[in-house]
Amino acid sequence: MTGAVRTLASPRGWNTRDWRATRDRLITLWRRSLRFRTIVITVALTATTILVTCLAMALVIQNELFTARKDQVLLEAQRATASAQATLDAAVDSTDPAAAQTLMNGIATRLSQQSSSDLIALYRIGPPSPLAPQPFISPTFESRLVTPELRTQVQSSPDLQWWQSVALPAENDREVPGILVGHQLRFPAQDGVDYYELYMGYDLASAAQTLSFVQVLLWVVGLILVVLIGAIAWVVLRSVTTPIADAAETSAKFAAGDLGVRLPVRGEDELATLNRSFNAMADSIESQIKELADLSLVQQRFVSDVSHELRTPLTTIKLAADMINDQREEFDPVTGRAAELLHAQVQRFEVLLTDLLEISRYDAGSVQLELEPTSLASLAEDVIASMEQLAEKHGTDVRLVAPGGYTPVDMDARRIRRIVRNLLGNAIEHGEGRPIVVSVDSDRDAVALGVRDFGLGMRAEDVDRVFDRFWRADPSRVRTIGGTGLGLSIALGDARLHGGTLAVWSEPGHGSNFVLTLPRDGRPLGSSPLPLVPDDEQGGTLEALGLTQPISLGRTTTRGTT
């Protein structure tokens, strides 16, 4: 006989993943949905309250049912015992054992008829006697039900009634709760009176059934209440949270720049008042933003127009300043120094005017990139070589570490070169004459360049403002390379035009690290090939990069292929 065997994968892994996904969805829903969170809290508190109430009611009902049944049983047993004792007291003393036994059987029958118990037992107190009636035990009565403690109490208290909760035998080997009641009976005897222990068993099955029915009813009603309260909370919250959700969505669109969105106003309640207030606020903000936009446009046009208009007189002034500066040797020392200052400041004014024109182009959105395949590592080498004299003037050594970045990447070489010159110039000026490391690396998605100096560094609040226009970390510090305060702002704009990023890390006493990251072929930019926090930051020492020995400026490079 042949057959196919199919192997089923264990569902444990799938169940675990499914459970984790469900858990994550619920956690996300809990954080983001006010309606879901409120309903869960409402249902949880309601369920807890109903659970406590049902438990308390079940305990109270159970106690009341038991107490009522117990009182009924004790009263019934007391009446049956009194009737049997009256019958015994009226009986005539007889020396015939058979007559005494007949009287015993009659008393047992009378007890069974006058009570609802069919579990009856009569035990003689004292040693056995052939003349006394034999003990009577019902067929279904088990002697084990009578505990020694109960027998002791019954034997020692002839005029008191005693009871005990027991488990009575039932059909199919089951047990039902019950009560065993004990008394003493006095039998007439030849030599006086014989005392017997009377035990009567009453089952509480009917009370237990009633209690079970009540408990089930309580739980069903509690569950229905939880569902109904949850549904009511859902309806009420929906009527309240839907306008709130609309307001949140509208405010998010407004914050994203859609200034024309407004909230619908219905009725005159608090939500309508909120919507009217939001719409009024939106109208006011929209008008102010339009005014500011118009003012900004006027300012941009003013800066652009003034910059363009200054070009002609600046050209004339520059020509005149160059001529005067070329003949400064023929002037007296004071006039010659004045000619040098005039020439330097005219050059700085020309750079500032060029930067202002560039900024105005950014503001107007009229900047166009001229992309061409360029090796970022080679570009960095060229910039380092062009700034060799400036670095030597400051006593700074520059090292290029380039494990990657030689593969050409589409970029506007002029703008990227301007970024690198700006970063390297700032590092030289603020590097306190210490070595500077220029790193270039790349991966499949991006190429990056980092400029690391070991100068004074900047505080956290200075790092947050380092790309602001005309901002300087130390206003009292004199610029030595003629910066205009717009270089880093323009560099950030150039990086963003390429779809890249320009980030900075700096700590006082540890220097600074600027990282420029550019994407390859328009790919989405992920992580940078270079870390923003430098590898030597743990120790903060130059030895971490091997920079304790003199470095040949612009010629010491570590290359790789990529």
DSSP string, 368-391: ----EEE-HHHHHHHHHHHTHHHH
More confident residue, 7 or 281: 281
| Residue after which a domain boundary falls, among 341, 363, 385 | 363
| pLDDT score at 477 | 52
In the chain, how long is the greatest CA-to-CA distance?
Answer: 168
If asked whether residues 390 and 531 sit together in one domain, one would say yes
Residues 205, 128 share a domain = yes
User: Does residue 21 lie in a domain region?
Assistant: no
| Residue 542 DSSP label | G
Q: Which residue has the higher pLDDT, 237 or 353?
A: 237
- Whether 447 maps to a domain, the answer reads yes
Query: How many CB atoms are closer than 10 A to CB 488?
Result: 21
CATH classification at residue 216: 3.30.450.20
State mean pLDDT over 16-22.
75
Q: What is this structure's pTM?
A: 0.45
Going by C-alpha positions, the residue among 156, 135, 142 that lies closest to residue 198 is 135
Q: Residue 198 is which amino acid?
A: L
Question: For residue 424, is it within any domain?
Answer: yes
- According to the model, what pLDDT value does residue 237 have? 77
549 pLDDT band, cuts 50/70/90, is very low
Domain assignment of residue 512, yes or no: yes
Q: Is residue 221 located within the same domain as residue 82?
A: yes
| Same domain, residue pair 337 and 463 | no
Domain total in the chain:
3
Full domain range(s) for residue 288: 271-363
More confident residue, 462 or 452: 452
Residue 463 in domain: yes
pLDDT above 70 covers a percentage of the chain that reads: 83
Residues 454 and 507 in one domain: yes
* Selected residue with higher pLDDT from 364 and 125: 125
Say whether both 352 and 405 belong to one domain.
Answer: no
Task: Give the per-residue pLDDT at 542.
Answer: 45
Six-digit token string for 249: 């969505």
Of 317, 345, 363, the last residue of a domain is 363
In this structure, the answer to whether residues 386 and 509 fall within a common structural domain is yes
Q: Assess whether 132 and 240 both reside in one domain.
A: yes
Query: Mean pLDDT over all residues of the chain?
Result: 79
Whether the predicted pLDDT of 86 surpasses 90:
no
115/117 Cα distance (integer angstroms): 5
**pLDDT for the residue 518:** 92
Cβ contact 458:376 at 8 Å: no
Check whether residue 325 and residue 453 sit in a common domain.
no
Q: Is residue 289 located within the same domain as residue 152?
A: no
The 3 state secondary structure assigned to 112-172 is HHHCCCCEEEEEECCCCCCCCCCCEECCCCCHHHCCHHHHHHHHHCCCCCEEEEEEEECHH
Count other C-beta atoms under 10 Å from residue 37's C-beta. Answer: 14
Q: Is the pLDDT of residue 449 over 90?
A: yes
In a domain, 496, yes or no: yes
- What pLDDT, on a 0 to 100 scale, did the predictor assign at position 548? 40
Q: How far is CA 421 from CA 118, 125, 381, 454, 463, in A?
A: 111, 119, 11, 18, 20
> Residues 512, 455: contact at Cβ < 8 Å?
yes
Q: What is the CATH number of the domain that holds 344?
A: 1.10.287.130
Domain shared by 382 and 338, yes or no: no
Which pLDDT score is estimated for 99?
76
- Last-in-domain residue among 259, 288, 310: 259
Residue-wise pLDDT for 476-524, tens only, equals 454 555 455 677 888 888 888 888 899 999 988 889 999 999 998 767 7
CATH number of the domain within which 449 lies: 3.30.565.10
Regarding whether 342 and 211 lie in a shared domain, the answer is no
Q: Each residue of 323-355: pLDDT tens digit?
A: 888 887 888 888 888 888 887 777 777 767 676
In a domain, 6, yes or no: no
How many helices and strands, by DSSP H and E, does the chain display? 12, 13
Predicted pLDDT of residue 436:
92
Residue 228: how many CB atoms within 10 A of its CB?
Answer: 11
Q: Is residue 20 part of a domain?
A: no
